[in-house]
Structure 1
Amino acid sequence: MKVIMTTKVDLASMNIMEKLIENFGFDETGELFDGNPVFKKGDTLILMTNEEMIYYDGLDTSIEQQLGLKPEIIAFASRHSSKQKLPALTTHVTGNWGEAMYGGKDGSLAVAHPIAMKLALTKLNELNDLGWTVCYEATHHGPSELDVPSFFIEIGSSEEEWVNERAGEILAETIVYVLENFDKVPRGKFRTALGIGGGHYAQKETAASLETDLAFGHILPKYAQPVGEEMLLKAIERTSEGVDVIYTDWKGSKGETRQLARSLAEKLGLEFIKG
């Protein structure tokens, strides 16, 4: 079972949910999750909660307890906020490289699904007739305590964008596309990658994914560096497809971190790309 997670306290989330129901034929099941109606189409559920999703550690366990179903993957339909109020369509996996400031636990990473996120990124880019930025975000915020693959897909970055109907349509179509296709991609079609370096909006990793066969899971930005080898190993372990490549934005990384990335790739027999 595939899950689209929404929350009633998020305008973008409600915008996307509305478009999913209107345009893609999701119907009420009569069941409740967190006291809210459950919608279903085929093997995909739309669930809604009452609080911010970034604090929902153990969501996969809660779904099993309330509905008796183990999710295969969770797509969080969400808003993105920034001081710059950059109009953007983004995707990323969650977790905290260090201290947990916004949900999750310190030094804890959710399970990334690079193929699903690459499909999301490329579909967002294809459908983007708004002229907005389309990008990966670096791994940040919660929830981090999930044992099934998940990803956030977001409308940014102010209320004007969150309620934009076309943005809601693009996100809804992208989510449906990803959930219908992520498990049909042959293993080896894309090289899965751990991204090291760059800013929050991961420009180098975004360009590499859109222009090559690289599919990124966790991305460690420069502002979260340095980290120890154990965190890079954790990022590799918490990637559902495994990691083929360690990609480093060389100029966008701190010296000790880029050297650590290179040596770890050699030790593990992974391809190393100096971006």
Structure 2
Amino acid sequence: MLGIIVSRADSASVHIGEHLRELADWDTFDDGTRCDAAGGGTVYETDGAQLREFDALHLDLVRPADAFDDPDFLVFASRHSGQTGPLLTAHHTGNVGPAEHGGTDNDLATACPNALRTVFDALDAYSPGGYEVGIEATHHGPSVVGAPSMFVEVGSAKEQWEDPEAARAVGQAILALRESTAYCRPENGSWSTSDQRGRCRQLVGIGGGHYAPRFRRVMAETDWAVGHVLADWGLDTLENPATETVIEQAFEATNSNYALVEGDRAELTEVVESLGYRAVSETWVRETDGVPLGFVRAMEADIGSIDDGLRFGKPARNHIPEEYHVVDLPTALLDEARGINREAASNAVAEAALAFGTDQGGTRPTGTVVLPPETERAVVIETLLAVLSEKYDSIERDKETVIARQEVFNSEKAQTLGVPQGPAFGRLAAGEPVEVDGETIPPAAVHEEKTTRFSLSE
């Protein structure tokens, strides 16, 4: 069940609550076990959600989840204040450093990264014209909620707090959470580990600015969800052991083993790894998009790290078989295909391979490929030979050798026959006859067959 909290001390929250009640069919009942100021009194219920009102500001509440009957996660419908213009935003709560606005020092609430991803997508879908959609770093209270939670907000000033279209959009996004979960669902299949946190595609964000553009981009463009985001402004207030304490809390409260570290923060990467977690690059996050993490770990062990050039092909994003085979493609053939059509050669590998090695910043396959059991090495080779046909006139295969032939222009012969440098030279090279001193010189007179052999075993 989704628990929704409306604060009577926040006019934007009350406005969102009014639109929430218009957007769904709600039943009401009176909860006499709690005072009206603390979530008792009139309670609103609809399919998958319950809404309760509190007198205090959200950030001053302590264990508001206790007012609900075992909620899966809570949403605080709230306002956003700042110099950011019309904005719909969401974030997790807690204090990275001193508690200046509710909660306690160096204390993080439990995050709900999968729900944050869901509401981010919903805000983007429902936002009215003129509004930006974003996420924020973890900040302000409450830090003790009693369930995974986040704020969903309309901002950034009174004009937006009173905007019915904005309040309705936030209400629609909150109701979309009824179909979500706090954390990602574990991966299925034999490549998953028994550790649920190792299977969940959610990460901690470390570093960067308050509005977290890198982490927003990751959520918008990959299948990774983002939990706590620890911005530089908060981290810079910390000293050990508080730094370790807050970073470890971020992993525990996000239910994650991975952190994406923004910028050159080697000291924070060292803290992450000393705590037994893994700091990863944005390249790593993007390359593992859609790929089971157990298989990622296996390929990093067998081939090398993503930062060193490991890449995943299309089959890895569809189904990971129980078995696979590692083969080497013929180097000279692969190099020639890349030289003819770099994109087609790369696609030939990526379309067939589960994983493969690269160099030049991940842009050039280097030959080692991991294939599904049903895909033979010969299939990839045939695709590369098709790329060669863009350059060569004929291609023959003799056991483990490919013989490629092409007609090439012999410039020395053309000069011997008196063909002047310039347009005539170009026409003759392109296969057109030219006339020199009243004599026609056919292309065949200055073209010859060139044969190139490629070994398929090297």
Q: What's the TM-score once normalised by structure 2's chain length?
A: 0.54
Does residue 250 of structure 1 match 2:254? no
Does residue 131 of structure 1 match 2:130? yes
Does residue 268 of structure 1 match 2:281? no
- The residue number in structure 2 matching 1:173 is 172
Tell which deviates more after alignment, 191-200 or 110-119.
Answer: 191-200
Q: Deviations over 1:194-239 (max 9, x none)?
A: 0011211111111111111221110011111234222111111112
Counterpart AA for 2:272: L
Tell which deviates more after alignment, 124-133 or 264-273.
Answer: 264-273
Q: Distance in 1 between matches of 2:63 and 2:150?
A: 15
Q: 1:107 to 1:44 in 2, by over 3 A?
A: same
Does residue 72 of structure 1 match 2:80? no
- SS of the equivalent of 1:134 reads strand
1:169 to partner: Cα distance: 1.2
Q: Contact 1:21–1:27 at 8 Å: present in 2 too?
A: no
Tell which deviates more after alignment, 131-140 or 265-274.
Answer: 265-274
Q: Distance in 2 between matches of 1:127 and 1:20?
A: 14
Highest Rg: 1 or 2? 2
Counterparts of 1:121-270 in structure 2, within 5 Å, are 121-182=120-181, 186-188=185-187, 191-226=201-236, 227=238, 228-239=243-254, 242-250=255-263, 255=265, 258-262=266-270, 264-265=272-273, 268-270=276-278
- The residue number in structure 2 matching 1:15 is 15
- The residue number in structure 1 matching 2:117 is 118
Q: Contact 1:77–1:152 at 8 Å: present in 2 too?
A: yes
Counterpart AA for 2:276: L
- RCO greater where, 1 or 2, for CA within 8 Å and sep 6 or more? 1
Q: Contact 1:262–1:272 at 8 Å: present in 2 too?
A: no
- The residue number in structure 1 matching 2:191 is none
- SS of the equivalent of 2:75 reads strand
Q: Contact 2:31–2:42 at 8 Å: present in 1 too?
A: yes
Q: Contact 1:250–1:274 at 8 Å: present in 2 too?
A: no
Q: Distance in 1 between matches of 2:207 and 2:87?
A: 20
Q: 1:29 to 1:137 in 2, by over 3 A?
A: same
Q: 1:89 to 1:34 in 2, by over 3 A?
A: farther
Q: Distance in 2 between matches of 1:233 and 1:269?
A: 9
Q: CA RMSD in A?
A: 2.1
- SS of the equivalent of 1:169 reads helix
1:184 to partner: Cα distance: 9.5
Q: Contact 2:112–2:148 at 8 Å: present in 1 too?
A: yes
- SS of the equivalent of 1:204 reads helix
Does residue 95 of structure 1 match 2:94? yes
- The residue number in structure 1 matching 2:374 is none
Q: Contact 1:190–1:213 at 8 Å: present in 2 too?
A: no
1:266 to partner: Cα distance: 7.1
- SS of the equivalent of 2:281 reads strand
**Paired residues, number:** 262
1:7 to partner: Cα distance: 1.1
Q: Contact 1:34–1:49 at 8 Å: present in 2 too?
A: no
Q: Contact 1:7–1:48 at 8 Å: present in 2 too?
A: yes
1:40 to partner: Cα distance: 0.5
Counterpart AA for 2:58: M
1:108 to partner: Cα distance: 0.7
Q: What's the TM-score once normalised by structure 1's chain length?
A: 0.88
Q: Contact 2:89–2:136 at 8 Å: present in 1 too?
A: yes
1:178 to partner: Cα distance: 1.3
Overall identity of the aligned pairs, in %: 30
- The residue number in structure 1 matching 2:449 is none
Counterpart AA for 1:108: D
- SS of the equivalent of 1:153 reads strand
1:73 to partner: Cα distance: 1.0
- SS of the equivalent of 2:22 reads helix
1:186 to partner: Cα distance: 3.1
Q: Distance in 2 between matches of 1:169 and 1:27?
A: 20
Consecutive unaligned residues in structure 1, runs of 5 or more: none
Q: Distance in 2 between matches of 1:140 and 1:184?
A: 20
Consecutive unaligned residues in structure 2, runs of 5 or more: 188-198, 284-458
Q: Distance in 2 between matches of 1:216 and 1:206?
A: 8
Q: Contact 1:265–1:272 at 8 Å: present in 2 too?
A: no
Q: Distance in 1 between matches of 2:53 and 2:222?
A: 36
